[in-house]
Structure 1
Amino acid sequence: MESLRMIENWPVPNAATAVVRASDGAVLGTHGPQDHLFPLASVTKLLTSYAVLVAVEEGVFELDDPAGPEGSTVRHLLAHTSGLAFDEHRAMATPGTRRLYSNAGFDVLADALTKASGISFADYAAEAVFTPLGMRATLINTAHRSPAGAGGLSTVADLARFAAELQAPRLLDPATVQAATREVAYPGLSGVLPGYGHRRPNDWGLGFEIRGDKSPHWTGTTSSPATFGHFGQSGTFLWVDPTAGAACIALTDRDFGPWSAEAWPAFTDAVLAEL
């Protein structure tokens, strides 16, 4: 895909990208070093969420089990509606009333899974998600870093396998993935989309941001409202556009900023035009 060569013009030391087709998980195109290990930042939340959903299906705990501040559940934490602050284990709102994007909430999620399963979160994620999908280079280091973002490392090649799973699930019931990625959890809630300011509504599924009608946005101007995924502060993103029938991964090693807010939508529009 010629559009993928646009990453050569990004002001970053290293970048890599791939596009994955929904129908069969085929990689339609790649550019850049596919096996280079990049820090994922908040793209890690997609992997954390998937591990949590596997745990739910395995009966480790349930979405409506208590977790986090009083009145909060696993579901609230996944949907950023637990009321926890951005980076503090401090309640700022009643659960279910505001969309407060919370790294702390994902720390609590990992702790809850560890407590319920008796397995460290990093090991559970590896056994439940990474190993079955052949994501050999991917890891979430929770020893000194957060499962919300800073602890995640992966490659485009590994995330292409994950993107194929998101579009044709094998590890989860497709209905579970549909609910997590296509159904807004706690509809109508407003909140801050990191890097873009307040959005009303700020639609989110269970761990997956849903694009909806947000504008401007880190995806493209031609991305469908059904597009879901996440971007990371380390200059990374993964989106799935069900209408286009494809997913795209881009990893870099320069922090998100004005360069990415400008480059990413044009890149996504070019990719979608080529599909």
Structure 2
Amino acid sequence: METTTFAATDGFPHTALVGVTDPEHTLAVQGDAHTVLPLASVSKPISAWGVLIAVERGLVDLDEPAGPEGSTLLNLLDHTSGLPFEGDQTQAAPGTRRIYSNAGFDALGAHVADAVGMPFADWMAREVTVPLGMKDIVVTGRPSAGYLASIEDLLTFAREVLRPTLIPVELRDLALAVSRSGLRGVVPGYGSFDDNRWGLGFELKGTKSPHWMSDTLPPETAGHFGGQGSFLLIDRSRDLGAAFLSGVAFGDEHKRIWPPLTEEIVARYGGR
């Protein structure tokens, strides 16, 4: 593992923890790899993995009813249930709009908890974080946005996404494929897009611009960012995962450095 400094973070006024991994090993880290900070919405793809394990076990089904009337488990995973960002008053019929929803992911956690017969945090620990060896992570908060973790935890999870061991490759591929293309929706902090592409718990870059990922990254690049200045990125075209933690509210400084940082990451490590 290389200890490094990324030029794109120069002048960033907060903590800037950065990590890069390939499918087998951590390639580079800026800062302390084991400092634990809030993930905010980067919790969602990790929670989604726990849901997909329950799907693989036959304990839940993507097409079964979940959430508001007419919604399914799949609708909750791809933000098309109609639930708002927060609250329980639906804003659209299921499957018609991409409404980014913390409430939907919390409903997802509650639904899976009922199906598996234990609190969702216990399921996540037993089936995801402990088997993967994510030693610093705390999953007792909201499935949508309540977890805390370290860069090393996020890189461990990125390796799982690149080379899944807990779910079949085909289910991973489904999670990182576009679920219902052509739906309009908002990426918080970046605006509304006519084709707001999303997978199951993962945002897909698509052709969205402006965006938190570099414009040079391919449309199929997957990931998530969080309101506490965090991101997870999965670039399967280069077999790379990357993560960022800052522990402060997302704002203009994150928007300034993230596109050049993601470009610097793939330029330095994407050719290995």
Structure-1 residue corresponding to 2:72: 73
Q: Summarize deviations over 1:124-156 as a string: whole Å, max 9, x none.
A: 0011100000001112223xxx2110x200000
SS at match of 1:163: helix
1:264 is aligned to 2:258: yes
What is the CA RMSD across the aligned residues, in angstroms?
1.2
Kindly indicate whether the alpha-carbon contact (under 8 Å) linking 2:207 and 2:219 is maintained by their aligned counterparts in 1. yes
User: Partners in 1 of 2:68 and 2:223 — Cα distance?
Assistant: 26
Secondary structure at the aligned position of 1:62 is classed as coil
Task: Select 1:213's aligned residue among 203, 207, 210.
Answer: 207
Give the distance between the partners of 1:78 and 1:102, measured in 2 at CA.
10
Partner residue of 2:143?
147
Q: Deviations over 1:195-248 (max 9, x none)?
A: 101011000011110001011110112111110010000000000111122111
Distance 1:187 1:265 in 2: 24
CA distance in 2, matches of 1:60, 1:8: 47
Does structure 2 retain, via aligned residues, the 8 Å contact 1:83–1:93? yes
Determine which of 171, 177, 187 is the counterpart of 1:176. 171
Give the share of equivalent positions with the same residue, in percent.
42
Length, aligned pairs only: 267
Q: Tell me the residue number matched to 1:51.
A: 50
What's the TM-score once normalised by structure 1's chain length? 0.94
* d(CA) in 1 for partners of 2:209, 2:6: 23
Answering whether residue 7 of structure 2 is matched by residue 11 of structure 1, we say no
Task: Tell me the TM-score normalised to structure 2 length.
Answer: 0.95
Q: Is the Cα contact below 8 Å between 2:8 and 2:260 reproduced in 1?
A: no
Off by >6 Å, runs of 4+ in structure 1: none
Q: Note the C-alpha offset of 1:5.
A: 5.3
Confirm or deny: 8 A CA contact 1:180 1:205 kept in the other structure: yes
2:10 and 2:121 map into 1 onto residues whose CA distance is: 34
- Residues 5 and 30 in structure 2, CA contact (< 8 A), matched pair in contact too: no
Segment of structure 1 superposing worse, 238-247 or 228-237 = 238-247
Structure 1 residue 255, shift from structure 2 partner? 1.0
User: Is the 8 Å Cα contact of residues 21 and 247 (structure 1) preserved in structure 2?
Assistant: yes
Counterpart code for 1:148 = S
Structure 1 unaligned regions, length at least 5:
none
Task: Give the aligned partner of residue 185 of structure 1.
Answer: 179
Checking the alignment, whether the CA contact within 8 Å between 1:98 and 1:189 is kept in structure 2 is: yes
Q: 3-state SS of the aligned residue for 2:100? A: coil
What is the 5 A alignment of 1:95-106? 95-106=94-105
> Which whole-Å CA distance do the structure 2 matches of 1:171 and 1:107 have between them?
22
Deviation of 1:7 after TM superposition, in Å, equals: 3.2
- Which runs of 5 or more residues in structure 2 are unaligned? none
